[in-house]
Amino acid sequence: MMSELPKVAHLAAGRSLVQWVLEAASAVEPTSTVVVVGHGSEMVAPMLPEHVQTAIQEVQLGTGHATRAALDVLDLEDDDVVIVLYGDMPLLSKDLVRDLAELGGQFSARLLTSVLEDPTGYGRVIRDASGSVVGVVEERDCSEEQRSIREVNAGVYAFRAGPLIGALAEVSNDNRQGEYYLTDVVGILVSKGDRLQAVNASPQEVMGINSQDQLAQAGKELRRRINAELMESGVWMLDPERTYIDESVVVEPGARIYPGVHLEGSTTVAAGATVGPDVFAVDSIIGPGATVWYSVLRSAVVGEACQVGPFASLRDGTVMEKGSKIGTFVETKNTSLGEDAKASHQAYLGDATIGARTNIGAGTITCNYDGVNKHPTEIGDDAFIGSDTMLVAPLRIGNRATTGAGSVITQDVSDGSLAVERSSQQEIPGYAETREKRKAAKQAED
């Protein structure tokens, strides 16, 4: 991956690779789940659900060695089924894991196979005339005829615990890398006359992630699945290929999502809401019938029938009550708007409580920061804040109060009052000539 982050800790569609695999594994409700961690285990462990155990593989001596490390943690009966998955296969589906778990009583292992365009480097799956799997031959041992087989062993298995433990004990590290390969277990079982089963998977499902390119491909496929499921439920998307919804997000049927939308974290979008184009929302709630476009939302709550954007930034602690509006070039932080309150244009509202039906004029700024501390601004219901009002916090503006355009308000304003801070307008006739002379002088100079 050309990255310091352990491979399985990379994210795709909002989940780490190992979390995707654990999610697939959860389909069979396993009694125990063990993740084998090596390099960077301190970055992987916090990603794991509580019920998951970890086994530390201090030195990386191959997949067989890793499997042994996992088995050490478990207390198994011979007949138990052990499913071995790779942490870098995020596209494994629940269906496939379920299928794998259906290991028949008379079989020692069930293995995932896949038919590849180019099988070079993989162990080929050998079947008899009836189609039963009778072995896996590693490429180095293949006959010319076997080499042409395109069905390969994907390295993912369900094993019967007894045979697995027995065979693992026989696996040697007598190879160029000096590693213990789990793959060798298959040959050992076959040599003992054990019977195998196979489940076919698409090459995509068993794709291991080993590069940024493959990570991007996996993300694309995971998003495709998420979006397909949402559309199936009745979510409209103009262009699902350009809609980036993490697995953790809830979008209700009847929501409409335009392209260029990123929904992350615990975000929810209610029925009848329209989101996008070009919205980034993390850990935010978008209510029924709300419209949000060309905006960024972080830990914000957009209530029913609210309007946001185009071009708004709602930061942590923004709460919009029903029917309120945060319009164009407006930024909010730790601020609530009451029902039907409006901040339609160019305002910065920080640490403010704004009452119902209050109108915030264009250019209004809550001067909440004095260079040392942040202070609150409280505005009542039905107030009218004139354009370009500076609200020097801490401050309280009463219900039905008004402020004059361009005023710097430093003292509280009573209910129903008009507060204004302004000088009188002066007019200096003939100023245009001054300006024009200056212009002429400059042009002469140039």
User: 37-43 contacts: CB < 8 A, separation 24 or more?
Assistant: 37/6, 38/66, 39/6, 40/4, 40/5, 40/6, 40/9, 41/6, 43/5, 43/6, 43/9
Q: Smallest Cα–Cα separation from 400: which of 384, 419, 378?
A: 384
Choose between 46 and 429: whose C-beta lies nearer to a copy of itself: 429
What is the full DSSP assignment across 87-106?
Answer: TT-TT--HHHHHHHH---TT
Residue numbers 320-339 binding a copy of itself by CB under 8 A:
328-329, 331
Considering only residues 259, 317, 376, 394, which one is a binding residue for a copy of itself as defined by CB under 8 A? 259
Residue 129 Cβ vs a copy of itself, minimum distance, rounded to whole Å = 24
Q: Within 269-288, which residues bind a copy of itself (CB under 8 A)?
A: 277-278, 280
Q: How far is the CB of 71 from a copy of itself (least distance, A)?
A: 35
**Given the complex with a copy of itself, which of 93 and 344 has the nearer CB atom?**
344
Between CA 405 and CA 323 the distance in angstroms is 25
65 is known as an active-site residue: no
Using alpha carbons only, give the angle 178, 179, 182 rounded to the nearest 5 degrees: 150
Query: Binding residue for a copy of itself (CB under 8 A) from 137, 293, 301, 338?
Result: 293
Nearest distance from C-beta of residue 48 to a copy of itself, angstroms? 23
By CB under 8 A, which span of 107-115, 145-153, 318-326, 364-372 interacts with a copy of itself? 364-372
Instruction: Give the nearest distance from C-beta 94 to a copy of itself in angstroms.
Output: 20
Of 240, 287, 303, 355, the residue at the interface with a copy of itself (CB under 8 A) is: 240
Nearest to 8 by CA among 135, 19, 224: 19
Q: Of 30, 208, 288, 310, which lies in the binding site for a copy of itself, with binding defined by CB under 8 A?
A: 310
Question: Using the rule CB under 8 A, which residue among 154, 346, 351, 352 binds a copy of itself?
Answer: 346
Considering the rule CB under 8 A, would residue 39 count as an interface residue with a copy of itself? no
Whole-angstrom Cα distance, residue 217 to residue 306? 36
Residue 56 vs residues 73, 328, 336: alpha-carbon distances, Å? 10, 53, 48
Q: How far is the CB of 329 from a copy of itself (least distance, A)?
A: 5
Cβ-based nearer residue to a copy of itself, 29 or 433: 433
| Shortest distance (Å) from residue 340 CB to a copy of itself | 14
Q: What angle do CA 66, 67, 73 make, to 5 degrees?
A: 100
Closer residue to a copy of itself (CB): 144 or 232: 232
CB of 392 to a copy of itself, least distance (A): 6
Q: Which of 28, 99, 221, 294 binds a copy of itself (CB under 8 A)?
A: 294
Which tokens go with 123?
Answer: 């162990």
CA distance 215 to 90: 9
Nearest to 109 by CA among 197, 170, 199: 197
Give CA–CA dist 38/274, Å, rounded. 45
367 binds a copy of itself (CB under 8 A): yes
Q: What is the CA radius of gyration of the chain?
A: 32
Q: In what order do the strands lie in the sheet with 285-286?
A: 250-251, 268-269, 285-286, 300-302, 318-320, 336-337, 352-354, 377-379, 395-397
Site for a copy of itself in 377-436 (CB under 8 A): 382, 384, 386-388, 390, 392, 400-402, 404-411, 413-433, 435-436
- Binder among 40, 254, 288, 394 for a copy of itself (CB under 8 A): 254
Residue closer to a copy of itself (CB basis): 47 or 158: 47
Residue located via tokens 């200056």: 438
User: Restricting to residues 196-235, which ones interact with a copy of itself according to CB under 8 A?
Assistant: 211-213, 215-216, 219-220, 228, 231-235
Question: Active-site residues: which are they?
Answer: 345
